[in-house]
Amino acid sequence: MISPAAPLPPESALLLRLAAAFAPDARRDEWRREWHAELWWWLSSTPDPSRLALAGHCAGAVLDAVSLRAGEGFNAADFLARPAARLAAPLLLLVLLTGITGGFRHTRRALFGTAPMDLAVLTETGPFMGQRSALPPARVAQWTARSHIVQSVELAGPARAVVHLRRGYTAADAQREWRRWNGFLQITPYAAEIVHPVALLGTAFLALVLLAIADWLRSDASGFSLAQPLGWLMVLFLSALELPFLPVAILLPYLVASFMALQYCRRDRAGRCPVCLERLGQPVPIGVGPRGPFEPAGTEFLCPLGHGVLFTTRETEPESHWTPLVA
Amino acid sequence: MADTLSYAAASVLNAIQSGRRYGFEIMEATGMPSGTVYPALRKLEKGGLIEAQWEPESVARAERRPARRYYQVTSQGEAALTAAGQRYRFSEVAKR
């Protein structure tokens, strides 16, 4: 049984938070107030409100907030004034450049193309160690026609090619077969190529852009916080590890560390002024809480530059309310 | 706006005209979900066909509940509803 006085179930609370992020800044408080009242009434008047129905209404709140945001129109100047946008713009540019120059081709193939185990990389070593000569396409086509291990060849560059192996064969089998025709040919498993540093950096950049967009949706700030990019750099560093081939024992700390980095970013932002991003200070216990007469209901923090006051509750689902101070 | 009123928006307008004054009451009357009703309310409000006002805080506080946002049809909205009535056939909504 869901009561109007009790905290909302987690899925509904999450949907409402998501919705609030979409609502335009100028109308967010009013929007929140209206939905709070409507849900309160619905929970009070419905005999046995189900969690599913409540989540359905909260999903409606998301659509409502999105429609409000769409109704406001897109203001490029406002968007660019966001601190996260300043970071997201160069990151997007980097991702674009990486994509154009072929930086994601390994990742893309591994994710959406043939199974990585059926792929191998064909290279030719020159007569002198380390020197590579060009792979002549006509000869490669000839060898492919004679091969019963390599199914097809996709030339990726003048000195290397990606080959598609027939099911059941490995790169070592192909190596043995092709060495008979050219002693300088090398066929290595494609899996080793997936951890190409460019592909890893590209993936990390994509993660950063997504984080920046998520931050932009959450943020009301017009200033810039150093802690946010520091948190992102930590994620970048962790993403740069060769994740797909790490054992589970290392994967778990990786996920925990990433989660902690994100939590650090989130908490850091919550404790800063949304206008200037200075750290809030001078905590003052306010009101009487529900647990006892001497328990404060929450704490009020003041922006050192006088932009406003943040009130946070001590409930299990903490709520924060920012009150701007008018000069 | 009145010329391009969708069926959903016209139904919401009809429900408000019939005495339904807040979001969830309009949802009950029209049978439409919150994800349809609220965006329609925003569009109608932006187009000036309805107007919204908050219930006095003192009334809500006396009854120990949050204040609601009530909607009502404007004169422009009434004209739009008459025009929409010629294009759409609304489901029966009891008058209040």
Average model confidence (pLDDT) across chain A: 72
Residue B93 corresponds to which amino acid? V
Q: Contact at 8 Å (CB) between A151 and A175? A: no
Average model confidence (pLDDT) across chain B: 86
Write phi, then psi, for A150 (nearest 5 degrees): -85, 125
Least confident of A16-20, A256-260, B28-32: A256-260
Position B53 scores a pLDDT of 92
Do residue A41 and residue B65 have CB atoms under 8 angstroms apart?
yes
Position B15 scores a pLDDT of 92
Q: Contact at 8 Å (CB) between A162 and A149? A: no
**A242 pLDDT exceeds 90?**
no
pLDDT band at A277 (very low <50, low <70, confident <90, very high): confident
In this predicted model, what pLDDT tens digit does every residue of A106-147 receive, in sequence order? 554 444 455 667 778 888 776 555 555 567 778 888 888 999
CA separation, residue B92 to residues A258, A322, B11, B14, B30 (Å): 55, 45, 10, 10, 9
Position A44 scores a pLDDT of 86
Residue A34: list chain B partners with CB under 8 A.
Answer: 23, 68-69
Position A90 scores a pLDDT of 66
Q: Contact at 8 Å (CB) between A289 and A273? A: no
Give CA–CA dist A231/A272, Å, rounded: 15
For residue A296, the tally of other CB atoms under 10 A from its CB is: 16
Give CA–CA dist A326/A309, Å, rounded: 11
Mutate: best of B12, B24, B30, B64, partner A, most A CBs <10 A = B24
Instruction: Let me know if domain B7-87 sits in CATH 1.10.10.10.
Output: yes
Selected residue with higher pLDDT from A207 and A67:
A67
Q: Contact at 8 Å (CB) between B11 and B30? A: yes
**B78 pLDDT exceeds 80?**
yes
Q: Which DSSP category does A176 fall into?
A: H
Predicted ipTM > 0.95: no
In this predicted model, what pLDDT tens digit does every residue of A160-211 receive, in sequence order? 788 888 888 888 899 899 888 888 888 888 765 555 555 556 666 666 666 6
Give CA–CA dist B70/B16, Å, rounded: 10
Residue B24: list chain A partners with CB under 8 A.
Answer: 38, 41-42
Position A88 scores a pLDDT of 66
The structure tokens listed for A168 are: 């059941």
Position A101 scores a pLDDT of 63
Q: What is the DSSP string of A51-69?
A: HHHHHHHHHHHHHHHHHHH
Name the closest residue on chain A to residue B23, using Cα atoms: A38
Mean pLDDT for the stretch of residues A91-110 = 60
Give CA–CA dist A17/A7, Å, rounded: 13
**A314 pLDDT exceeds 70?**
no
The domain spans of chain A are: 1-73, 105-195, 274-327
Mean pLDDT for the stretch of residues A242-267 = 62
Instruction: Let me know if domain A105-195 sits in CATH 3.40.50.
Output: no
Mean pLDDT for the stretch of residues A228-249 = 54
Q: Residues of A at the B interface (Cβ-Cβ below 8 Å)?
A: 30, 33-34, 36-38, 40-42, 44, 56-57, 59-64, 67-68, 71
